[in-house]
Amino acid sequence: MAESSAQGSISGAGAGAGAGAGARGGKRKLDTGGKSAQKHKIYKYRDGGRGGRGGRGGGGGGGGDRERGRGRASSTHGRQEEAEAKVYPMDKYRATPLPDMLISPGICVTTVQGKERSAERELVEYLETVADELYPETAETEIKEEPDGGEVDFEVMLQRELDGYKGDGKSKRFSLCAHDIMCVIHINVLPPLDPHRLVRHILEQAETTGRCPLRFCKRILPISDTCPATLKQVSDTAASLVKTAFRTSDNRALKFAIDTNSRNSDRLERMEMIQSIAEQVTKLQAGHSVDLKNPDRTILVEVYKNTLGMTVLDDYERFKKYNLNSVATQAAKNKHRPTSSEPVPSSETSTHRRSSSPAKRKHLNRDRKAASLAEASAAGGPSSTGVVGGDEHNTEQGVGSGEDGKDFEEIILDGKVYRRTT
């Protein structure tokens, strides 16, 4: 009796445990929506290779994570140090922060769209070459070895390096400006360099050689003076510029034109600026007149935001509105165009050259015979038969034989050739 009750209790407990397990299994299946439990093993991918999760006793592991983190931090620090140690060639022309455009005299350049930085770099490099030629006294001193092959004086070398580091190693000739407008850059030209002299030298070189040294630059405009964009400042700046730019040795009257360009600015009206500048030219009382097609002086105004730059240009039409590529293209065309001093080949010479081949010589002989027949007909007059005779050995003189074997004569009347059988 006792055994049966014990077995019953054991079987009941087993059944209860089985039912509980079944219930738990059913609940787990219901929670997962019938999918495999492998989706709960995402820790395989999340923590793989980063150390263990620790045992039952507690939360060890994570060593792989820390080691990888240290490795990433050290590599990032190394890249930062490498970037800081690297020196960029254009850094010597950049100040911090970058100045705005048209706040000091310089060179305003229009560029190919999307190539502003490339144009900036190539122009500065070319300007350095031109400045070395025109202003050799401003060239940076270079360390050279002694001519006799001796050693360099290290004290002198050290002093030169220290002198070069003065002023944070920035250029003493040019400085770059911020360019937040498409297709336009501005380069400040520091004294004693003159932007007009630099730009004119570049244009004259392109006109002489017929080659454009710059790939991404279009118009190169020297800016003589800058001022805030107000009518009062425009009038004062124009008064100081035209006083010197319109001065000539013989005090003759000049023809002038005024051109304005506004970018990202609506502070000044175009006609107001033109009238204000024209008044200053009239005050010179030298009889200067306006000529928009072929002016001797062109007053150019470039407005940008709240500032403007002004310049007076010579030979504005000659240099294609200071477009470097147009100047080089026109010079190349003029260079290959024959001049009046070159001998022009005569018709006989050109005909002889064209008739070098046997076929061409045959046609030339035929033309000559036709010309002789025409001259003979004209000499004989309208009443003449115009027959040019020949012997039997020379049938091309005017006597020949047809396909049927009959002889014929050629008669020219009123410029037309007729054949008559004999």
Distances (CA, A) of 368 to 363, 372, 392, 396, 408: 9, 6, 20, 12, 21
Dig out the tokens for 219 from the structure. 């118009």
Q: Which of 249-253, 265-269, 319-323, 371-375 has the highest mean pLDDT?
A: 319-323
pLDDT of residue 225: 96
Strand bridging mode 255-263 / 289-290:
parallel
| Cα atoms in the 13 Å half-sphere on the side-chain side of 205 | 14
Q: Provide the mean pLDDT of the chain.
A: 75
pLDDT of residue 347: 47
**413 alpha carbon, distance to own chain's centre:** 68
List, for residues 40-59, the tens digit of each pLDDT value.
555 555 544 455 455 454 44
Give the chain's radius of gyration (CA, Å): 46
User: pTM above the 0.95 mark?
Assistant: no
List, for residues 186-220, the tens digit of each pLDDT value.
999 999 999 999 999 999 999 999 999 999 999 99
Compute the Cα dihedral for 193, 199, 202, 208 and give only its sign: negative
Q: Is it the case that residue 392 has pLDDT exceeding 60?
A: no
Give percent of the chain with pLDDT exceeding 90: 46
Dig out the tokens for 377 from the structure. 């007909």
Q: Is it the case that residue 296 has pLDDT exceeding 80?
A: yes
Strand bridging mode 307-314 / 297-304:
antiparallel
pLDDT of residue 139: 85
Mean pLDDT of 163-168: 55
Q: Is it the case that residue 7 has pLDDT exceeding 60?
A: no
User: CB–CB of 128/173 below 8 Å?
Assistant: yes
Alpha carbon distance 266, 303 (integer Å): 9
For residues 270 and 48, which has the higher predicted lDDT (pLDDT)?
270
**Banded pLDDT at 281 (limits 50, 70, 90):** very high
Per the listing, tokens 């040294």 go with 213
Dig out the tokens for 259 from the structure. 């051109």
**Banded pLDDT at 147 (limits 50, 70, 90):** very low
CATH 3.30.2130.30 domain residues, the chain: 93-142+167-334
pLDDT of residue 373: 72
Per the listing, tokens 């060179």 go with 107
Mean pLDDT of 80-98: 74
Q: What is the DSSP letter of 412?
A: E
Q: Is it the case that residue 380 has pLDDT exceeding 80?
A: no
Each as own residue / partner, the long-range contacts of residues 318-323 (CB below 8 Å, 24 or more positions apart, any chain) are: 319/203, 319/207, 321/219, 322/199, 322/203, 322/219, 322/220, 322/221, 323/218, 323/219
Distances (CA, A) of 51 to 48, 62, 124: 7, 5, 55
pLDDT of residue 30: 47
Alpha carbon distance 280, 258 (integer Å): 12
**Banded pLDDT at 13 (limits 50, 70, 90):** very low
CATH number belonging to the domain at 93-142+167-334, selected among 3.30.2130.30, 3.40.50.150, 3.40.50.2000, 3.40.640.10? 3.30.2130.30
pLDDT of residue 232: 95
**Banded pLDDT at 412 (limits 50, 70, 90):** confident
Alpha carbon distance 141, 163 (integer Å): 10
List, for residues 100-142, the tens digit of each pLDDT value.
999 999 999 999 999 999 999 999 999 999 999 999 998 875 4
Give percent of the chain with pLDDT exceeding 70: 56
List, for residues 301-349, the tens digit of each pLDDT value.
999 999 999 999 999 999 999 999 999 999 999 988 765 555 545 444 4
Crossing angle (nearest 10°) for helices 231-245 and 270-282: 40
pLDDT of residue 180: 84
Q: Identify the three-state secondary structure at position 3.
A: helix
Q: Is it the case that residue 245 has pLDDT exceeding 60?
A: yes
For residues 265 and 369, which has the higher predicted lDDT (pLDDT)?
265
**Banded pLDDT at 359 (limits 50, 70, 90):** low
SS3 annotation, 269-325 = CHHHHHHHHHHHHHCCCCCCEECCCCCCEEEEEEEECCEEEEEEEECCCCCHHHEHH
